[in-house]
């Protein structure tokens, strides 16, 4: 890979200190950056690393949504805390009401000509004891607010870390230096488990939300049971659904639903050897690696159900191809595809479908399509597919009635 050499004037204007201190006063790449013999090899690493880092940083972009939600949620929790924390201290209004009631009873007694009953005032130093429900509610809500604020702060810091990671890598244009900087920084990401830290932030926000709902139900129980019971029902249903979504990827590996706790449960079940799959040879094999790596392995490995997914994928491809050139390229690729292992020749041929072939024949004469002509030319056209794939089965015209729409020429 060739890189342009910066103008000589730029190099000449750099002092010796500027050339040595590239972190603070770097003005431009030096000539030696582009003359390194290893640049060609490192440029391949840089190209692959750029795609990997882009996907990695994109997976951290949900921090913006977490930041917005945690801000709105913290404001809502604060409004409830303002009302609930008052129950942790004595209410001066209650004492005033008690004194007014005592005065009122004395006035009634005097008007009736009876001796008023003088009640002894409450001692001023009587310790106040808040109810256990008030204490529990405030503990839960203050914890919920604290976790929401920690999530917001963590999301802000992750965004800053991601920007710093990319900026430090992209500062250098020479492939050998850029690659080594990237390898050095990525080693730190793995060492300090930054990916696990990022996955913990949504977990904190989810815990904060559950703590708020639990405190909300406890807050409503002394007030009105008929209001508290519907909220309790919603809370129980939410917890059950959350648990189901958390464990679904352990049972159905391609399930798109998961929670931040799913990755933790994945590793726990993996340690006990519970994550297994049935191989094509009839025995069970344990799934290794993270959840993403395990899914990739199950998707790529030659399992009995892979042919069915390939068939569905090819049918979808044919439905999305609308131009003649795309259909012809698809047909041209079929013979080589059929030469692969674990391919059902009959099913893969039928995947062409009546609508797709008839569409190509209607939009363009068959005689002009060499690829389609291979499939519509004489009764032995089906056996040609088997011969390409090796010693495949031989078919007759009745196996593919779909091709009878094309007359032999």
**pLDDT per position as a tens digit, 166-224:** 999 988 888 889 999 999 999 999 999 898 889 899 999 999 999 999 999 999 998 88
How high is the pLDDT of residue 116? Answer: 61
Do 197 and 179 form a contact (C-beta atoms < 8 A)?
no
User: Exposed/middle/buried for 208, CB within 10 Å: 0-12, 13-18, 19+?
Assistant: buried
How high is the pLDDT of residue 359? Answer: 52
Per-residue pLDDT of 295-305, as tens digits, reads 888 888 878 78
What's the pTM?
A: 0.68
Most confident of 2-16, 61-75, 319-333, 359-373: 61-75
Residue 162, number of CB atoms within 10 A of its CB: 20
On average, the pLDDT of the chain sits at: 75
Per-residue pLDDT of 36-52, as tens digits, reads 778 888 889 999 999 99
The DSSP bridge partners found for residue 277 are 285
Q: Is the pLDDT of residue 22 over 60?
A: no
Do 175 and 42 form a contact (C-beta atoms < 8 A)?
yes
Q: Is the pLDDT of residue 1 over 60?
A: no
Per-residue pLDDT of 386-400, as tens digits, reads 443 344 444 444 444
Per-residue pLDDT of 52-71, as tens digits, reads 998 888 888 778 889 999 99
Pick the residue with more confidence: 271 or 354?
A: 271
Closest CA to 174 of 315, 2, 317: 2
Pick the residue with more confidence: 119 or 268?
A: 268
Closest CA to 275 of 297, 260, 257: 297
């Amino acid at each position: 890979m060739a890189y342009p050499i910066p103008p000589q004037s730029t190099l000449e204007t750099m002092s010796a200190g500027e050339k040595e201190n590239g972190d603070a006063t770097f003005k431009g790449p030096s000539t030696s950056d582009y003359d390194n013999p290893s640049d060609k090899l490192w440029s391949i690493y840089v190209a692959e690393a750029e795609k990997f880092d882009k996907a990695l940083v994109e997976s951290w972009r949900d921090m913006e949504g977490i930041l917005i939600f945690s801000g709105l949620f913290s404001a809502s929790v604060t409004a409830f805390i303002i009302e609930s924390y008052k129950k942790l201290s004595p209410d001066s209004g209650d004492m005033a009401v008690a004194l007014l009631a005592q005065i009122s009873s004395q006035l009634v007694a005097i008007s009736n000509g009876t001796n008023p009953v003088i009640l002894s005032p409450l001692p001023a130093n009587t310790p106040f004891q808040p109810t256990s429900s008030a204490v529990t509610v405030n503990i839960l809500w203050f914890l919920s607010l604290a976790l929401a604020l920690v999530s917001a702060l963590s999301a802000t810091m992750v965004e800053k870390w991601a920007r710093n990671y990319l900026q430090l890598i992209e500062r250098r244009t020479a492939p050998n230096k850029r690659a080594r900087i990237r390898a050095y920084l990525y080693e730190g990401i793995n060492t300090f488990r930054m990916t696990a830290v990022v996955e913990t932030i949504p977990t904190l926000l989810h815990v904060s939300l559950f703590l708020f709902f639990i405190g909300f139900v406890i807050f409503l129980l002394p007030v009105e049971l008929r209001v508290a019971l519907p909220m309790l029902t919603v809370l129980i249903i939410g917890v059950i659904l959350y648990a189901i979504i958390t464990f679904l990827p352990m049972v159905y590996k391609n399930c798109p639903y998961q929670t931040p706790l799913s990755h933790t449960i994945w590793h726990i079940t993996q340690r006990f050897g519970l994550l297994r799959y049935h191989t094509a040879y009839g025995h069970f094999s344990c799934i290794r690696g993270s959840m993403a790596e395990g899914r990739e392995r199950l998707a790529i490995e030659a399992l009995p159900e892979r042919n069915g997914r390939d068939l569905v994928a090819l049918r979808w491809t044919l439905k999305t191809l609308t131009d003649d050139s795309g259909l012809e390229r698809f047909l041209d690729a079929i013979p080589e595809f059929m030469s692969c292992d674990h391919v059902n020749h009959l099913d893969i041929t039928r995947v062409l479908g009546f609508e797709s072939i008839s569409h190509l024949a209607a939009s363009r004469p068959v005689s002009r399509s060499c690829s389609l002509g291979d499939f519509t030319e004489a009764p032995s056209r089906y056996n040609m597919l088997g011969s390409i794939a090796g010693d495949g089965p031989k078919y007759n015209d009745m196996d593919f009635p779909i091709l009878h729409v094309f007359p032999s020429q």
